[in-house]
């Protein structure tokens, strides 16, 4: 469905790929290659990531999201095509240490990512392995704990942390390696609502104030609504890349890919159909409430204290 990709996001070709921060060119990947269970997982993906961007990657189960994510720091290597990170080809073994320092991964289950007895030791583990001098390690740990909002918990054993705090610890551990890019593979799937908000706020702040490039793989369309750009995968193909508002203006595309509008955008669509003058830019609950308040502003039947 190449028609879904808007002109400014047209796939790149040829040598342009190594000019980008992360360039993906005609990437193909096949699980169990040459065996009976052979299965194409990525089928010719081309895209680019600029420094400081926030991209959400969505798609049904089995669409290739996690497979794509694992290519970005060379946990998987292309069967065909290539992935370039900061000008480094992931297929060259000598590039791996630099690529993995540049692009850090955060996974679903925070319990699988914890190694040490206290929060600060856990965060220090990575920099220690780099063989950095102790003062530098201490500085990096302080900065990472601060960025993840864990300064108060530095001496606590990780198993006493809540789900959201554990996931923030995983983020702090990644930050201590000073990556330019965080790839988060459904980091909120196992968290309660408060934990989810904690993680999203942390990630948003890192992207906005620390300029960390953020690639968020998610099943929650309301999380995708927060991104600057969304990539939609369907059966291993990239079928849409563009702004969330562009995507949510095409419910038929979402449906075709097994996705749905986030609830606030769906309610906005219904109200629009009923004649409400709501803009197409409504993505989040905050957007919808703000526009409705403006319209309903002087309604004497509303409880003004609440508005």
Q: Where does this chain bind another protein (CB under 8 A)? A: 37, 59-63, 108, 162-164, 186, 189-195, 219, 221, 258-260, 263-264, 266-267, 270-271, 274-277, 285, 288-289, 292-293, 295-296, 298-307
**Cβ contact 177:169 at 8 Å:** no
133 vs 301, which CB is nearer to another protein? 301
Cα–Cα distance measured from residue 18 to residue 23, given in angstroms and rounded to the nearest whole number: 6
| Nearest residue (CB) to another protein, 108 versus 118 | 108
C-alpha to C-alpha distance for 114 and 157, rounded to whole angstroms? 10
Comparing CB distances to another protein, the nearer of 16 and 296 is: 296
Q: At what angle do helices 193-209 and 134-147 cross, to 10 degrees?
A: 120
Shortest distance in whole angstroms from residue 153 CB to another protein = 15
Here the tokens at position 235 are 């059966």
Using CB atoms within 10 Å of the CB of residue 69, give its burial: 0 to 12 exposed, 13 to 18 middle, 19+ buried.
buried
H/E element holding 217?
A: strand 213-217
DSSP class of residue 86 equals: T
Nearest distance from C-beta of residue 197 to another protein, angstroms: 8
Question: To the nearest whole angstrom, how small is the minimum distance from the Cβ of residue 303 to another protein?
Answer: 4
CA–CA dist 33, 86 (Å, integer): 29
For the bound state, the minimum distance from the C-beta of residue 242 to another protein, rounded and expressed in Å, comes to 19
Question: Minimum CB separation from another protein for residue 95, in Å?
Answer: 31
155/255 with CB nearer another protein: 255
CB of 296 to another protein, least distance (A): 6
C-beta of residue 86 within 8 angstroms of C-beta of residue 102: yes
Nearer residue to another protein within complex by CB, 179 or 195 = 195
Cα 269 to the center of its chain, rounded Å: 26
Which C-beta is closer to another protein: that of 125 or that of 220? 220
| Strand partners of residue 82 | 25
């Amino acid at each position: 469905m190449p028609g879904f990709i808007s002109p400014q996001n047209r796939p790149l070709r040829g040598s342009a790929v190594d000019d980008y921060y992360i360039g993906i060119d005609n990437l193909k990947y096949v699980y169990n290659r040459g065996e009976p269970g052979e299965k194409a997982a990525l089928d010719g993906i081309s895209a680019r990531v600029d420094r400081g961007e926030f991209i959400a990657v969505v798609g049904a189960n089995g669409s290739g999201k996690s497979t794509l994510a694992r290519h970005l720091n060379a946990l998987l290597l292309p069967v065909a095509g290539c992935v370039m990170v900061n000008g480094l080809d992931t297929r060259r073994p000598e590039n791996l240490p630099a690529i993995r320092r540049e692009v850090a991964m955060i996974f679903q289950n925070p319990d699988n990512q914890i190694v040490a007895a206290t929060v600060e030791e856990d965060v220090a583990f990575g920099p220690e392995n780099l063989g950095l001098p102790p003062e530098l390690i201490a500085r990096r740990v302080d900065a990472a704990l601060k960025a993840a909002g864990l300064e108060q918990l530095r001496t606590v054993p990780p198993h006493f942390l809540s789900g959201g705090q554990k996931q923030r610890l995983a983020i702090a551990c990644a930050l201590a390696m000073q990556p330019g890019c965080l790839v988060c593979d459904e980091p909120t799937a196992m968290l309660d609502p408060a934990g989810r908000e904690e993680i999203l706020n942390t990630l948003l702040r890192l992207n906005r104030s620390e300029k960390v490039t953020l690639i968020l793989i998610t099943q929650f369309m309301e999380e995708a609504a927060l991104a600057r750009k969304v990539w939609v995968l369907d059966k291993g193909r990239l079928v849409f890349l563009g702004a969330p508002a562009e995507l949510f203006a095409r419910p038929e595309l979402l449906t075709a890919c097994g996705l749905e509008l986030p609830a606030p955008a769906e309610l906005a669509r219904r109200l629009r159909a009923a004649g409400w003058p709501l803009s197409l830019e409504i993505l989040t609950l905050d957007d919808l409430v703000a526009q409705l308040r403006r319209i309903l502003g002087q309604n004497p039947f509303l409880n003004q204290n609440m508005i």
